[in-house]
Amino acid sequence: MALLPVLLGCPMYGSTDCRDDRRACAAGLTCDLRTGLCVTVERSAAGERCDAPEQCAEGTTCGDDGRCHSGSCALHECVTGYQCEVVDGGHTCVSDAQ
């Protein structure tokens, strides 16, 4: 009788740390840069703190000062780790990791 090896706690795939690839988080989630986990966040209004563009409400962008600003990145520099690109005809902060 052959014994089958049992692997406990060892995933058969790479890292699940979203800090390695911020695109790894599903729609509606963002990467928590402290833990490396994908988490849901409430969207912040203009003037509130942010670490990623997904954290800001529609019609706002996460600026280089770590705050949500009304308007797109055509008007405000993107937060660290993102660059402003034209996507579907509008200016959007896109991860540098892409």
The phi and psi torsions of 53 (rounded to 5 degrees) equal -55, -35
Distance in angstroms (rounded) separating the CA atoms of residues 78 and 25: 19
In a domain, 16, yes or no: no
Q: Give the domain range for residue 86.
A: 22-95
In a domain, 75, yes or no: yes
In a domain, 67, yes or no: yes
In a domain, 2, yes or no: no
Q: What per-residue confidence (pLDDT) applies to 7?
A: 38
For the stretch 18-69, pLDDT in tens is 877 756 777 767 777 778 888 776 676 777 889 989 888 888 899 999 999 9
Query: Is there a contact between 26 and 39 (Cβ–Cβ < 8 Å)?
Result: no
- Domain count within the chain: 1
In a domain, 43, yes or no: yes
In a domain, 48, yes or no: yes
Q: What is the pTM of this model?
A: 0.55
Query: Is there a contact between 72 and 83 (Cβ–Cβ < 8 Å)?
Result: no
Q: What per-residue confidence (pLDDT) applies to 23?
A: 66
